[in-house]
Structure 1
Amino acid sequence: MEGVLNRLGEYGNPVPRYTAPRCLLERQAVGGCDACHATCPHGAITVGPLGRSIEIDPGACTGCGLCVQVCPSGALEYDLTAPLQSVRDAGNAGEGEATLTCSQSGAGGPTLPCLGRVTPAVVAASGAWGIPLTLLHGECGACPVGAPDVPERLNRVVEEAQTLRAATGRPAQVTVRAATPEDRDRAVRVSRRGAFASLLRAGRQQVAQAIPERPLPFVDWSQPRERTPEEWRWRARSLVPAPAPDTGVHWPAPLVDDSCIDCPVCSNVCPTQAITRDLKPEGGVQLLLDLSACTGCMACLHSCPPGAIHAQEEWLPAAFGPPILLRDSDSAM
């Protein structure tokens, strides 16, 4: 019993995971970033000195997720498993649509503390699976969890996801609306084949709802795959159906021109190490870009001393394969 209680003690923390190496403040990017602090409706996030750049007050944090929505580098994040599984389960059960609703809406169905937890990856995944998604919010004006402008923020999230999905030719089917009294009695519609599986899922959900959510484990920075936030990994996975080879995919990322002085700034400030700088044995350097690991934060662009970096908004699907050669100089500067 003691072991079980100790295990439960790890739960009940709504604070998002903070990965310091991904934070633009910790990376000392020019201009820094205070997006999370500026957007938090509860004053739970403070900006401090290097080594303690972002601190979150667990007593003030409601777990709304709005800071995660605006973080440009994935330094703040929640586990995407629950919302993604809810959407996927609705499709597997043969329901007409998937729903995600905020805890204050009173609507039935899968619930999040706030729809601020919904990210472009969740919307893009629903489109990849061909599952219509309805996002039901409550009365946001006086909500104690989120913020009054959550519906507007959701529309921006949907727009970003649709821009990504444009390359697939199949936009996500998404509706954002306020919950109505009829939504409280939403019934689970399942096929006979999926009824038993749905019962099992319902049992798991009952257990999950009885135990407060558990914080994500720390990122193992020694593993290159873990340096890329789950949000961007899911965005890349959601490019289904596969875009045609000559179709541009919206994925803002840097290009380097000939005014580059071969300094290490871009690789140093990159929050996911999507840019790597390799010294060549014969002299000079190579700059390589792992496009799928790039979050488009443009810390490299804003920090580049000679201004040699420019943003490219669209890339061909082949660019998501091997690393892209951004620069290959003949001799070190």
Structure 2
Amino acid sequence: MQINGKRVLLCDCEGTMNIDAKGLAKACNVDETPMINTQLCRSQLNNFEQALSKGEPLVVCCTQEAPLFLETADGYEGRDENSPEIRFTNIRERAGWSKAGRDKPKKLTPKLAALILEATLDIPSSTSVTMSSDGVLLILGTDARAIEAAHEVSDRLDVTVILTGKADDVDPPALMDIPIFHGEIVGATGHLGDFEVGVNHFTPANPASIKALTFDGAGQSGASACDLILDLRGGKPLFTAPEKRDGYFNPDPDNPALVMKALLALTDMVGEFEKPRYVDYDPKTCAHSRNSIIGCSRCIDLCPAGAIVSSPAEDRVTIDPFICGGCGICAGACPTGAARYTLPEGDALFRRLQTVLSTYSGAGGTKPVLFVHDNEYGQAVTGIIARQGNGLPENILPFTVNQTTQIGLDFLTSASAFGASGVTLLINPQKTDEAEALRDDVATTQAVMDGLGYAGVRYQVLDHADPEAIATALVQMADDKTAPEPATPGNFLAMGRKRTILNLALAHLHDHAPKPVDFVELPAGAPFGTVAIDAENCTLCLACVGSCPTGALKDNKDKPQLTFTEDSCVQCGLCRNTCPEKVITLMPRLSFLTDSRKHVIIKEEEPFECIQCGKAFGTRSSIERMVEKLSDHAMFAEGNRIDMLRMCDNCRVVSQMENQDNPMAAGERPKTRTTDDDLREREILRQQAKEDM
């Protein structure tokens, strides 16, 4: 069977799952009925080799035996690095090993078709950054175990040991083949290949140590540069989310197995390494700061790895791709889409989403529930449920992402708009603290669906460690009797920035809503809403306009006017924080009115005209308020000096210069004396002399 230019190879794994070949071909919209292999990885391996000979891209519906298939392909004559790619997709644990897979193959067909078509999509690769390590390892510890660990890898890595604390029971080594120091660790920065560890009271080991290792010399302060760090101190790690910091290991020093595992990993960390650039950042649409005033700081507050720092002087944040652990929380929480997750790149995530749901529904599937999980924990749980339990129900559609925490409002609303009855998001229980933003987005999306009349709980976040509990929760949401009816599936293209996709999905949900209300109240922190402006006390200084990152607040170049577009507001708070009069209040809500996409006038005034030349400048209220406040000031108390406040900039300068009471005025300038003046004076004196004679 060929789909999207790729040959699909199917296998029922020795009859452990039933596949309706004709129904599957129809569901995939192809004329060719696929061959269902029974033992493709063993007795029917020649069918795989025959497919290789045709020189077509392959999709093998088996992941367990992927190493065998790749090894076979590598040994196939004429195949090289330029040969068509071979992909693998798991239809066994994710679909076939279930009640429907055993007893009701026709019910399973829509799900199989959705998973297979998803696997045939062309997904663009993401960009990467390069990290280089020369194998310089710094081991931190409190006792002899740090030195023992150093000896384990000293023949493969350039090792230095720094002991902390008392370290008074360490035997002096017979051979000082590893540099050993003592000091107080005060912090660390950097990443794999470029670490710096701050050390105070840094002293070397005394070569004359007898009973116990001693340290002498004047303690110094400085930083130790290294490529790798093994932290065996057993206390607080040097970095937040240490498991996300490449090149840093802090196993429990009391667990030799974990220490040995870390040492084994460290020995392989020499050379150049490619790391995905998980997040693409656009500072132009970032709502973090304007003019050094802070607005939105969600990504900074939520980043567990500390990879995001504020740069208010540049009106942006800085995301370090070398430190970024790829959790995607920043992208999921970003209200403007300035931070965008790039694994996968572009709109591939939404193409996958639409393909899975539209294929399932088009093949006759009902009430699809999307099961979003990561590559590691989610895959493992799915396997356990399939092997030890009843498998996933036929309407549970597994959807693998790099990290579940990368999911945001745009994905959740699009899933419902594309026809999902519900969405279950599985979090690794070890990362449950990282799911705060995801839970907030789930609450916001549920509030929107409730407000539009879509009954039932449609979203749930699971962080169970027990696969049986996860299976129970999935079955409850997928039960045909209690599962909510899905929205009418949309066919819009989810492309562009986050806000664009959100608007498309929300518009579709509203158009087909059981209760198409004009407004939906949202919880605090939601990235939709309006601003309440006290127009009476607003002076139209327009500071809010200059600070608004999305252009929701705008002015009018022809007259003093403030307008607001609710559809563009992300509730970042920059306008509120910038306003000198403090007359702006944020009001989270979602408006479906047409006016929400228009510029609505908040306040406008006639401009104040200069009393001298008639030139328009400023606003009448601001000028009159300024005159009122300064009328009793000593600088404007005499005469008509207060009128200068009612003049434009040019007339004000002229008036100041013409004022006789100008304290800065100089004396009258003497007339310049010339030679003609001297000659004229001499002639006058001569005439006077003649007359006197």
Give the TM-score taking structure 2 as reference length.
0.36
Tell which deviates more after alignment, 289-298 or 248-257: 248-257
Q: Corresponding residue for 2:176?
A: none
1:329 counterpart = 2:595: no
Distance 1:279 1:291, change over 3 A: same
Does the 8 A contact of 1:37 with 1:45 survive in 2?
Answer: yes
Q: Distance in 2 between matches of 1:165 and 1:319?
A: 22
Distance 1:310 1:43, change over 3 A: closer
Q: Distance in 2 between matches of 1:10 and 1:114?
A: 17
Does the 8 A contact of 1:121 with 1:235 survive in 2?
Answer: yes
Q: Corresponding residue for 1:54?
A: 317
Match of 1:235 among 478, 489, 502: 502
Does the 8 A contact of 1:115 with 1:150 survive in 2?
Answer: no
Q: How many residues align?
A: 279
1:302 counterpart = 2:574: no
After superposition, the C-alpha distances for 1:48-98 in whole angstroms (9 at most, x for unaligned) are 352374222222212211122333443322267344333322321235322
Mark the structure with the bigger radius of gyration: 2
Alignment of structure 1 residues 276-291 onto 2, 5 Å: 276-280=554-558, 284-291=559-566
Match of 1:253 among 527, 530, 533: 530
Distance 1:138 1:71, change over 3 A: closer
Tell me the CA shift for residue 112 of structure 1.
1.7
Q: Which amino acid aligns with 1:247?
A: D
Tell which deviates more after alignment, 291-300 or 102-111: 102-111
Tell me the CA shift for residue 277 of structure 1.
0.9
Q: Distance in 1 between matches of 2:594 and 2:401?
A: 36
| SS of match in other structure, 2:461 | strand
Q: Distance in 1 between matches of 2:518 and 2:498?
A: 23
Q: Corresponding residue for 2:446?
A: 162
Pairwise CA RMSD:
3.3
Does the 8 A contact of 1:259 with 1:306 survive in 2?
Answer: yes
After superposition, the C-alpha distances for 1:146-179 in whole angstroms (9 at most, x for unaligned) are x432344432211111223344222672232247
Q: Distance in 1 between matches of 2:373 and 2:301?
A: 25
Match of 1:43 among 306, 327, 337: 306
Q: Distance in 2 between matches of 1:245 and 1:132?
A: 18
Higher-strand-fraction structure: 2
Distance 1:47 1:117, change over 3 A: same
Match of 2:329 among 32, 52, 66: 66
Q: Could you say which structure has the greater relative contact order, defined with CA pairs below 8 angstroms and 6 or more residues apart? A: 1
Does the 8 A contact of 1:66 with 1:117 survive in 2?
Answer: yes
Q: Corresponding residue for 1:174?
A: 459
Q: Distance in 1 between matches of 2:293 and 2:597?
A: 29
Match of 2:586 among 297, 300, 311: 311
Distance 1:322 1:139, change over 3 A: closer
Alignment of structure 1 residues 25-174 onto 2, 5 Å: 25-28=288-291, 30-48=293-311, 50-51=313-314, 53-78=316-341, 81-92=347-358, 93-94=360-361, 95=365, 96-107=368-379, 109-141=398-430, 147-170=431-454, 173-174=458-459
Give the TM-score taking structure 1 as reference length.
0.71
Does the 8 A contact of 1:245 with 1:317 survive in 2?
Answer: no
Tell me the CA shift for residue 307 of structure 1.
1.7
| SS of match in other structure, 1:36 | helix
Q: Distance in 2 between matches of 1:154 and 1:312?
A: 21
Q: Which runs of 5+ in 2 are unaligned?
A: 1-80, 83-123, 129-274, 383-397, 475-494, 522-527, 608-617, 620-693
Distance 1:126 1:246, change over 3 A: closer
| SS of match in other structure, 1:74 | coil
| SS of match in other structure, 2:432 | coil
Does the 8 A contact of 2:432 with 2:463 survive in 1?
Answer: no
Q: Which amino acid aligns with 1:320?
A: S
After superposition, the C-alpha distances for 1:234-274 in whole angstroms (9 at most, x for unaligned) are 22222213366763134312133221111121111111112
Does the 8 A contact of 1:277 with 1:287 survive in 2?
Answer: yes
Tell me the CA shift for residue 124 of structure 1.
1.6
Q: Which runs of 5+ in 1 are unaligned?
A: 142-146, 187-225
Q: Which amino acid aligns with 1:255?
A: A
Q: Which amino acid aligns with 2:377?
A: S
Distance 1:241 1:138, change over 3 A: closer
Does the 8 A contact of 2:290 with 2:312 survive in 1?
Answer: no
After superposition, the C-alpha distances for 1:17-38 in whole angstroms (9 at most, x for unaligned) are 2221233444236344443223
Does the 8 A contact of 1:65 with 1:117 survive in 2?
Answer: yes
Tell me the CA shift for residue 119 of structure 1.
0.6
Determine what percentage of the aligned residue pairs are the same residue.
Answer: 21
Q: Distance in 1 between matches of 2:288 and 2:408?
A: 22
Q: Corresponding residue for 1:213?
A: none
Q: Distance in 2 between matches of 1:163 and 1:44?
A: 32
Q: Distance in 1 between matches of 2:436 and 2:348?
A: 23
Q: Distance in 1 between matches of 2:586 and 2:317?
A: 27
| SS of match in other structure, 1:326 | strand
Q: Distance in 2 between matches of 1:99 and 1:261?
A: 52
Tell which deviates more after alignment, 108-117 or 68-77: 68-77
| SS of match in other structure, 2:582 | coil
Does the 8 A contact of 1:29 with 1:269 survive in 2?
Answer: no
Q: Corresponding residue for 2:632?
A: none
Match of 2:278 among 7, 15, 25: 15
| SS of match in other structure, 1:110 | strand
Distance 1:301 1:123, change over 3 A: same
Q: Which amino acid aligns with 2:499?
A: W
Tell me the CA shift for residue 101 of structure 1.
1.0
Q: Which amino acid aligns with 2:562?
A: L
After superposition, the C-alpha distances for 1:280-330 in whole angstroms (9 at most, x for unaligned) are 2xxx32222222221121211221111222233344523333222222222
Q: Distance in 1 between matches of 2:578 and 2:377?
A: 43
